[in-house]
């Protein structure tokens, strides 16, 4: 039984769902843009209010307790209901609003700027998402999502608009046997063991780490560090320029690999008119980066 003398705070519920999604307080804190100790205190407040422990700390991060497992789907339902109530009121009041998610290396500044120019009275916000957070679309934390296909989202649940495609490149450390090659072929990489990925839904995902015995790694920076140390090699879209910031890495074009496709996805049947407006802008404002 709670003793705080107040109603359940949606903010605490959302914090809980993000920690549950990441299974790690540090990564959840970074996603929420709060300090990790503060996040821990807020989760403790929620547990005190509910009178049950929701999360256990383990060496790998955190895991849900039986109470947390029962509460998680209800927490998502509660947040979705609150979001729907907000949208209903805003729609009746004539307020246009959209939260736009984007992942990894994609830069959507031109799209957002043009959307704001065309709809100056609308509330337009953006949210950066890690590759593990594409579920933000399903649980309504974002209304639309810029990402690279394939995505672990059911085709019947989303509306997908292809925007552009990019070839692939290999990222290796300087001194690697392939570093001085003008190009490599997809067949040459076929025998390489792929490390587990956050959403390994096809043979050619947008971001792949290749190397025997490589553990699953979420942080992009940690992946590059793994490559620089010589323990792995990486396959990335050529538009991802982040590896170029490291002088100890070299990029090599890949021949014969499927292109990486950038898409805009939204929930099928979502009545938010700003999603259609976003699609109209994205089709012209977002293009492949110049080579």
Pairing of β 260-267 and β 233-237: unpaired
Q: Which of 137, 134, 103 is nearest to 239 (CA)?
A: 103
CA 84 to chain centroid, in Å, comes to 22
pTM above 0.95, yes or no: no
Contacts 24+ apart (CB under 8 A), 43-49: 43/12, 43/15, 43/16, 43/19, 45/4, 45/12, 46/9, 46/12, 46/13, 46/15, 46/16, 48/2, 48/3, 48/4, 49/2, 49/4, 49/8, 49/12
> pLDDT in tens for each of the 291 residues of the chain?
444 446 888 999 999 999 998 888 988 888 787 888 999 999 999 999 999 999 998 888 899 999 999 999 999 999 888 877 877 776 666 668 899 999 878 889 999 999 999 999 899 999 988 766 777 888 788 999 998 888 877 888 899 999 999 898 999 999 999 999 999 998 888 766 665 443 333 444 567 777 777 766 667 788 888 899 988 888 888 888 888 888 999 999 999 888 888 999 999 988 888 999 999 999 888 887 765
């Amino acid at each position: 039984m709670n003793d705080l003398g107040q109603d359940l705070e949606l903010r605490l519920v959302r914090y809980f769902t993000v920690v549950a999604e990441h299974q790690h307080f540090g990564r959840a804190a970074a996603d929420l843009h709060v300090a990790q100790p503060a996040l821990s205190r807020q989760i403790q407040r929620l547990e005190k209010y509910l009178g049950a422990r929701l999360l256990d700390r383990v060496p790998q991060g955190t895991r849900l307790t039986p109470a947390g497992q029962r509460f998680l789907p209800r927490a998502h339902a509660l947040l979705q209901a609150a979001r729907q109530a907000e949208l209903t009121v805003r729609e009746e009041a004539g307020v246009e609003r959209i939260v736009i998610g984007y992942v990894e290396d994609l830069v959507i500044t031109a799209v957002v700027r043009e959307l704001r120019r065309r709809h100056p009275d609308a509330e337009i916000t953006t949210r950066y998402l890690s590759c593990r957070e594409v579920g933000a679309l399903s649980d309504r934390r974002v209304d639309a999502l810029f990402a690279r296909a394939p995505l672990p989202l059911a085709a019947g649940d989303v509306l997908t608009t292809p925007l552009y495609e990019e070839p692939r490149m290999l990222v290796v450390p300087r001194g690697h046997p392939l570093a001085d090659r003008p190009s490599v072929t997809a067949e040459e990489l076929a025998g390489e063991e792929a490390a587990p990925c956050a959403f390994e839904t096809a043979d050619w995902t947008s971001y792949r780490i290749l190397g025997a015995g490589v553990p699953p790694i979420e942080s992009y920076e940690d992946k590059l560090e793994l490559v620089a140390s010589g323990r792995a090699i990486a396959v990335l879209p050529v538009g991802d320029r982040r590896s170029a910031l490291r002088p100890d890495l070299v990029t090599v074009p890949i021949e014969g690999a499927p292109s990486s496709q950038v898409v805009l996805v939204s929930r099928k049947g979502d009545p938010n008119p700003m999603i259609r407006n976003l699609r109209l802008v994205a089709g012209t404002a977002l293009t492949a980066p110049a080579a």
